[in-house]
Structure 1
């Protein structure tokens, strides 16, 4: 392994370790065990959430009397249906103001799953968020049970072994991807170029399909850029920096990278859960910052 690769791996390990201290699951050093590259999710986490939060509906989708290959086939059908829901364009329900379809719709609203010869299962949201009223104990418990997971070096192409540095998931569904570069060897522009040139969406790359993750971060020790849609050379990255006394970039940090606010503050579990909840307040197709 080259010196540059060692530096980048150290950066990656430190970032993930600090996220783990802030409420994220980081098992076996983030090895992508359980990751299904074709479905672009961690099936065990997705099924666990549905089975524990909506047991009656889960029984309709995956009857308890199924075992072995039959049970595995029923679970696979359910998971494949979720990917179809995730592939839909998100729209806002004019009555409720909630997102319908796509990742945001699945996270906030849920989905229905119909099968021939069985009653339709109507699953609620794939996530629960901490309520403003802490006395709502059932909601608090559900929010606490959300599995926020870190995976490292995650395959994104069913035909190759290419991987993305970090993927962050909520109940098995990817919500954030990250490419990291250390400023001692490369700049954030190398990560941006990597997304544009080597991370183009395609049929064999479901993780990179527009809408399958909420945001993609290009991160170096000094700078952060982000995009919500990968589209090859047309991908638009925007700065996600704090500013430095009226200038671009970020102020120096006395305890590590200048960009550590990203994982120490923004991606820390409590803040990230609030951001994820508010994300659906933006109408699909529009951009801007919440006032």
Structure 2
């Protein structure tokens, strides 16, 4: 990308995240660091790219500014040799061992002291102190970041930091000079970025982005030529395929990156509620070995996953309890992760207005429990493992196979309860009996697209209790809703890949023309074009042939 366009991207991202740009600060002469400690007076905006430490990949000025501003009393209690030397060294070792996300969420022990490295974004139900702490986080960007010990002249277009610790790297490309993110940006990361450099090691950053004015791609693990990039694009309107729509405001198609994603609150949300390490089979164990050597991959949300959870939470906070939502997400959408993230967000959502149905107070959580219902036993295990792997606390998660199990889970204060559709009819009475409680019910597969044994077992189970022979799963759920009168204290979030007309009418939203649409769409066409599922029509042989 030529310098002018590169600086345009950098300035737009910096303005969104920091509030001012480097150029604005240079014009006004404002110090880049707002720090109380006098020994930081030497760190000015005039030397942005030279202030990071290549050995540890930290922005030292921001790191010490954050720590001395927020935890000087704790630093004063340090009994070791030299805190300025020991803290970066031990902090770097902790990130190598546990990964950046663990250090941000849990802080780090430096000999006899424990320092907090990030203050999470509070909910309306949290204390005033937590809200004040959150404001003290220092988000920053460094342009043309040097990062290599062996080749000091190498630069990355931009690095985004929080409290001096790197979160994202960026390489910008310009189609007008015949360079694109899809080809040249990915090629640069694969061929010109050594994954052994500290900044680029697996687990040191959350994601590496390459973008141009049309598209965005990212990876969570640089592995030279084997690096796998995923699209971080919005998709075309009405499920018409991959890519990004024309910007209605006339700007870049990728403006959503700084308008919707690279905002302080969103980045803070990603840190605390989305990113997790996948340890493969190890994640099902009670004691997960939280060390980087066992991590298989770092799970980071694709745009449609971040978008659907965000839009659902915004709508719920405004509308309240009792609404139904249809989420049409194709195979290859990462539905299990989307359901996991949504469940954890729903247990903390508070109303933004007292007009929200069944709202208690503006700082009281809307839902007492989230119940995840699936019609596939294999997926039930997968979602259960995902919930546990995210593992904020095992104390809030339970598995219910009977009404008794559900009753006990509610009494024990379990916030996320997992069950299968085969067991769901037996716990419906319990849900309606506790009418003072509000429930969010997440249903995987709004109808049973699988025929055969699984569908038959669903019908047989529910037919013991209801006269609905021949019904598929979504019809059975609809009958359960009506017969059990659950809608008054429940919201329903139905995930499906292939909704039928009846499913759309039951769970979808009606427009002014009387047509029904899903609340959110990630289409099969988009999944095929993005390479997450195969197009079965691209290579086929007729029966006669």
**Separation (CA, whole Å) in 2 of partners of 1:242 and 1:139:** 33
133 and 155 in structure 1: CA distance in 2 versus 1, 3 angstrom threshold: same
Q: In the alignment, what sits opposite 1:164?
A: 156
2:252 and 2:154 mapped to 1: Cα distance?
27
For 2:259, the equivalent position in structure 1 comes to: 264
2:65 is the counterpart of 1:79? no
- 1:158 is displaced (CA, Å) by 1.0
CA distance in 1, matches of 2:276, 2:226: 26
Q: How many residues in Structure 1 have an aligned counterpart in Structure 2?
A: 257
Does 1:40 find its partner at 2:57? yes
The structure showing larger relative contact order (alpha-carbon pairs under 8 Å, at least 6 residues apart) is 1
Partner of residue 427, structure 2: none
Deviation per CA, 1:48-102: give whole Å up to 9, x if none.
3223333332113378xxxxxx8xx5302211111111111xxxxxxxxxxxx22
- Structure 1 segments, 4+ long, off by >6 Å, are none
Cα distance in 2 for partners of 1:272, 1:74 equals 29
Structure 2 residue aligned with 1:275: 270
Residues 244, 253 of structure 2: 8 Å contact kept:
yes
Is 1:151 aligned to residue 148 of structure 2? Answer: no
Name the TM-score, length of structure 1 as normaliser.
0.81
Structure 2 gap ranges (5+): 24-44, 280-295, 300-333, 340-545
Matches within 5 A, 1:234-273: 234-245=226-237, 246-253=240-247, 254-273=249-268
Question: Which residue number in structure 2 is paired with residue 59 of structure 1?
Answer: 76
Measure, in 1, the Cα distance between the counterparts of 2:200 and 2:277.
Answer: 21
CA contact (8 A) 2:50 2:146 kept: no
Contact 1:15 1:263 in 2 (8 A): no
Secondary structure at the residue paired with 2:16? coil
Q: Quick check: 1:104 aligned with 2:101?
A: yes
The match for 1:67 is: none
Tell me the residue number matched to 1:187: 180
- Give the 3 Å change call, closer, same or farther, for CA 123–242 of structure 1 in structure 2: same
Q: Is the 8 A contact 1:61 1:78 kept in 2?
A: no
Structure-2 separation of matches of 1:170 and 1:25: 14
> CA separation in 2, counterparts of 1:26 and 1:198?
31
What secondary structure is seen at the aligned counterpart in 1 of 2:92?
helix
**Two-structure CA RMSD over aligned residues (Å):** 2.2
- Matched position secondary structure for 1:169: strand
SS at 1:290 equivalent: helix
Judged with a 3 Å threshold, the aligned counterparts in structure 2 of structure 1 residues 256 and 35 are, in CA distance, closer, same or farther, namely: same
Kept in 2, the 8 Å contact 1:134–1:140? The answer is no
C-alpha separation in 1, matches of 2:273 and 2:73 = 29
Contact 2:14 2:21 in 1 (8 A): no
| Residues 84-127 of structure 1 deviation map (CA, whole Å, 9 limit, x = unaligned) | 11111xxxxxxxxxxxx22011100011111xxxxx11223x11
For residue 224 of structure 2, what is the aligned residue in structure 1? 232
Change (3 A) 1:33 1:142: farther
Per the TM alignment, residue 134 of structure 1 is displaced from its structure 2 partner at its CA by 6.3
Higher radius of gyration, 1 or 2? 2
Q: Distance in 1 between matches of 2:192 and 2:79?
A: 38
* TM-score normalised by the chain length of structure 2: 0.45
> C-alpha separation between the residues in 2 aligned to 1:23 and 1:250?
22
> Which residue number corresponds to residue 22 of structure 1?
16
| Secondary structure of the corresponding residue to residue 153 of structure 1 | strand
Deviations 1:110-149 (CA, angstroms, capped at 9, x unpaired): 11111xxxxx11223x111221126622111111111110
